[in-house]
Amino acid sequence: MRLRLLCLGLFLITSTQAFAGGFAIFETSVRVSGMMGAYVADGRDVSTIFFNPAGLAQLSGFQFQAGAVFIAPNTRFRGPLPHSVDETVMESKTFPIPNIYASYQIAEGLTAGLGVYIPFGLGSKWDRNWVGSGIATETGIQTAVVAPTIAYMLPFKEYGEISIGASLQIGVLASAKLERKVYDFGTDGVSLLEGSSEEIYYGYNVGIIYKPMDKLAIGFSYRSQLELNIVGEATFTNLPSSGFINGAKGDLKITTPANWTLGISVRPTEDLTLNLDYVNWGWSSYDTLKVVFREEYRTLAVNEIISPRLYNDTYQLRFGAEYIVRAVNGLTVRGGVGFDNNPVPDETIDPTLPDTDRIIGALGASYYVTPNVGFNLYYTFIRGFERKSDNSANNSIHGYFNTHANIFGAGISLSF
């Protein structure tokens, strides 16, 4: 039984190494993603529910937006060093990330809204016979949040406009999947771990926007941690039943990082908007991973397994621009650039989705066929810096990872 529990604990722990910066999703709005997600001080779009709930107070009437982004990551591995520099390419896979937002102005300066989005997700899939198959062949993480939101613009405006807002994040989905090969028992075995949350989890998002003048705004938002409890169940194929028990379960406790954003929005002209955001992620809260075994699988020898993760706090810089094209009625174009600093230390990097510092570029556009109906499109390219893995202590493989991603998005905006 002790061996069985240790095997289950190993698989549960390995799967959550995927919970890194590469799985934090900022592409939660087609329109705003065209501006590199730099929107904490802007707030003129209903998707401000995600970026800064205070922006909702600037909206009038009924606003609705729906869309989806499609993220296609690509990773190449060269190694294992020092014996080989052969290249392995991760299998192509595209992840659809939908989002929906709606708001209604209740009274002058008071607006309520609702958002549905995916704050963490993605995954990776490698050939079952690749050199790192004993670490991971397929990994996936998915969450979904429903966010009722309220925002209010303070009535006194002697020194400018001040808007405040808050969202309750209600987590309705959290799931994880890990598949890997097992070679330690003389067989070509496969282990599959799949799990999901059995209960709702909660968080919050609060923000403020201050506009000292019409063409200048400063914004700040804070998004809390989410406490996930995923119940994992293991399935083993072609492995000795004496050491591996199918259906064994354990509680996997994951805390997603809090983050805060500070930004500025400037409108040099009526047609041009420039936004700059600094985003701070508190990944250092993910210092350990704890697996607590269900009572029916416990022994006096093994009740829980704790594994160090030692992630670092990180930051993102995001710059976005928007320009209204007067020569084409109803057309607005956007663009942006960004830099993401990754949280994963060299000691814990692995092939589930090798995280790295990234440079990002985005382009987007909206076309309104009527004053109330518009269509949004955008494209983002992410280029990661080369990352070397040389940590044998955590069962990693020695070599180099190179990553890039293409992201496309389309959606619709309605207002009444």
Any idea where the domains of the chain sit in the sequence?
Answer: 2-415
Is the pTM here over 0.75, yes or no? yes
Give the rounded percent of residues in the chain with a pLDDT score beyond 70.
85
Across the chain, what does the average pLDDT equal? 85
Which pLDDT score, from 0 to 100, does residue 100 have? 97
Which pLDDT score, from 0 to 100, does residue 58 have? 94
Match domain 2-415 to its CATH number in 2.60.40.1180, 3.30.70.1380, 2.40.160.60, 3.40.1280.10: 2.40.160.60
What is the mean predicted confidence (pLDDT) over 168-192? 84
Spell out the SS3 assignment of the chain: CHHHHHHHHHHHHHHHHHCCHHHECCCCCHHHHCCCCCCCCCCCCCCHHHHCHHHHHHCCCEEEEEEEEEEEEEEEEECCCCCCCCEEECCCCCEEEEEEEEEEEEECCEEEEEEEECCECCEEECCCCCCCCCCCCEEEEEEEEEEEEEEEECCCCCCCEEEEEEEEEEEEEEEEEEEEEECCCCCCEEEEEEEEECCCEEEEEEEEEEEEECCEEEEEEEECCEEEEEEEEEEEECCCCCCCCCCCEEEEEEEECCEEEEEEEECCCCCEEEEEEEEEECHHHCCEEEEEECHHHCCCCCCEEEEECCCCCEEEEEEEEEEEECCCCCEEEEEEEEEECCCCCHHHCCCCCCCCCEEEEEEEEEEEEECCEEEEEEEEEEEECCEEECCHHHCCCCEEEEEEEEEEEEEEEEEC
Which pLDDT score, from 0 to 100, does residue 399 have? 85
Q: Is it the case that residue 302 has pLDDT exceeding 60?
A: no
Which pLDDT score, from 0 to 100, does residue 299 have? 44
Which pLDDT score, from 0 to 100, does residue 243 have? 63
